[in-house]
Structure 1
Amino acid sequence: MTKDHSKVFLFLDDEKQPIAELETPIVFNFDTNKIPDGEHILKIVSKSMTGREGIRLINFQVKNGPTISVEGLSENDIVEGSLPLMINAYDKGLPKSFVIEGSETPQTVPVWVWVMIMIILAWSAYYLITEYSNGIF
């Protein structure tokens, strides 16, 4: 009894040579550490024993490098003059370890938080003044 297994060829982006040639079914460890950061296409071409061919394209993005965080400038902003920018770059480190120090990007407190604090403080001051003048305290 012969087994009717298809073969799959994995191509990355527009490469002519496959990165892998496998017989199905297979579990394949796709190491993205060897691929530069950015957008890529994985093209999977299958060929059956009868000669029929199937193709599947999968768009994906590799981001193995350090994460870069910028505060003070966003995509498509219209700006003028001098801008204070807060820039941070941090890496995930080794996946088997977790480091708390430096794991988060420091960020400024949003304006809406300051507004809420001011409203609460103003209401508290108003409440204390009105209650004190009514003789409750």
Structure 2
Amino acid sequence: MAEDPVKVAIWLDDNPEPIGVYSPPASFELDTTKLPDGPHKLIVRATDRAGVTSVRVIDFEVHNGPGIAVVGLNPGDVVEGRVPILVNAYAGTTEEQWEPKRAETPAPVPTWAWVLFLAVAAWAMFYWADNLRPEAELAATPTFAPPERIAEAAGVRPISPTPPAETASMAWRELGAETYQRNCLACHGENGEGVPGFVASLRESPRVRAPDAEDVIYAVLTGAPRGVDLRSQMPAFADLLSDDQVAAVVNYVRNSWGNTAPAVNPERVRAVRQQLRAQTQD
């Protein structure tokens, strides 16, 4: 069997032994849950038959634990007297999604019980269908007439059910409110007032309600609002929130506390996220 022309060895940080030796091309999975949060480096050494070695070092940072936001004190600040400081923490992303386990009876339901249940259900449906139908002379009275006919006779237009589009909009607003309360309320406040000089105010903000929401999406994903000079920096939520959650909270902020702005969809968030990834790779 011919010897591979190139061998690739993978080292992690300053470990004396490689975590693996492969024949390219090769793929492996790096389990960051076993690494402490903080900076690390992945070292790739490729050696050919002649013994010539190439080395590539990739610096990266592990962040599986809770994110920490500190408002009121930045690295390198010169402070004096009493300094008000706000500290907040955000849940990590390594926890497995909780899924309720199925609860089953120790033994299956007997066949005779199913037959009895179906027979009773069929009898009940027949009974109610036959006895709840009004007689012909009563069908047109207000007691038994359909609501549409009563409203028509009274000249009143019946209230129609909530359209599906409005129902979906309500669900999006609920998701935005929930996302804001979990991740933003501690710093920006219940009414988006922020902290003057520390945390940007979201109330009646021209930047927040601009026709193009890219700056707001960028701020949520990166934690660094464009063109805003504050003494604190918000945490980046790119790895903590999905495209749906980002779109929902952006829409919630852009249409609350006196703000009115066009809606943002998850596809717009995904496009901004891809732009940021491309800039990072460049």
TM exceeding 0.5: yes
Give the match for residue 42 of structure 2: 42
Q: What secondary structure, in the 3-state scheme, does the structure 1 residue paired with 2:187 have?
A: coil
Structure 1 position 102 matched with structure 2 position 187: no
Counterpart code for 1:65 = G
Q: What secondary structure, in the 3-state scheme, does the structure 1 residue paired with 2:41 have?
A: strand
Counterpart code for 1:78 = V
Give the match for residue 68 of structure 2: 68
Cα distance in 1 for residues equivalent to 2:8 and 2:79: 51
Q: What secondary structure, in the 3-state scheme, does the structure 2 residue paired with 1:106 have?
A: helix
1:2-13 residue pairs with structure 2 within 5 A?
2=2, 4-13=4-13
Q: What secondary structure, in the 3-state scheme, does the structure 2 residue paired with 1:107 have?
A: helix
Q: What's the Cα RMSD here?
A: 2.9
Q: What secondary structure, in the 3-state scheme, does the structure 2 residue paired with 1:65 have?
A: coil
1:107-118 residue pairs with structure 2 within 5 A?
107-108=187-188, 109-111=194-196
Give the match for residue 22 of structure 1: 22
Structure with greater proportional helix content: 2
Which is bigger in relative contact order (C-alpha 8 A, separation at least 6)?
Answer: 1
**Residues 80-121 of structure 1, C-alpha deviations (whole Å, 9 max, x = no match):** 111221111122343757x8463446214143777x97xxxx
Cα distance in 2 for residues equivalent to 1:50 and 1:67: 47
Counterpart code for 1:102 = R
Q: Is the 8 A contact 2:13 2:43 kept in 1?
A: yes
Give the match for residue 55 of structure 1: 55
Q: Is the 8 A contact 2:4 2:23 kept in 1?
A: no
Structure with greater proportional strand content: 1
Cα distance in 2 for residues equivalent to 1:86 and 1:95: 29
Q: C-alpha displacement at 1:49, in angstroms? A: 3.5
Cα distance in 1 for residues equivalent to 2:87 and 2:2: 61
- Give the 3 Å change call, closer, same or farther, for CA 68–105 of structure 1 in structure 2: farther
Q: Is the 8 A contact 1:69 1:105 kept in 2?
A: no
Cα distance in 2 for residues equivalent to 1:50 and 1:96: 49
Using structure 1 for the length normalisation, give the TM-score. 0.67
Count how many residue pairs are aligned between Structure 1 and Structure 2: 115
Structure 1 position 80 matched with structure 2 position 160: no
Cα distance in 1 for residues equivalent to 2:184 and 2:12: 33
Counterpart code for 1:83 = V
Structure 1 segments of 4+ aligned residues over 4 angstroms from their partners: none
Structure 1 unaligned regions, length at least 5: 118-137
- Give the 3 Å change call, closer, same or farther, for CA 6–104 of structure 1 in structure 2: farther
Cα distance in 1 for residues equivalent to 2:43 and 2:185: 36
Q: Is the 8 A contact 1:5 1:24 kept in 2?
A: no
Using structure 2 for the length normalisation, give the TM-score. 0.35
**Residues 27-79 of structure 1, C-alpha deviations (whole Å, 9 max, x = no match):** 11111111111112211111223433211111111111111101111121111
Q: C-alpha displacement at 1:5, in angstroms? A: 4.8
- Give the 3 Å change call, closer, same or farther, for CA 70–28 of structure 1 in structure 2: same
Cα distance in 2 for residues equivalent to 1:71 and 1:41: 30
Give the match for residue 121 of structure 1: none
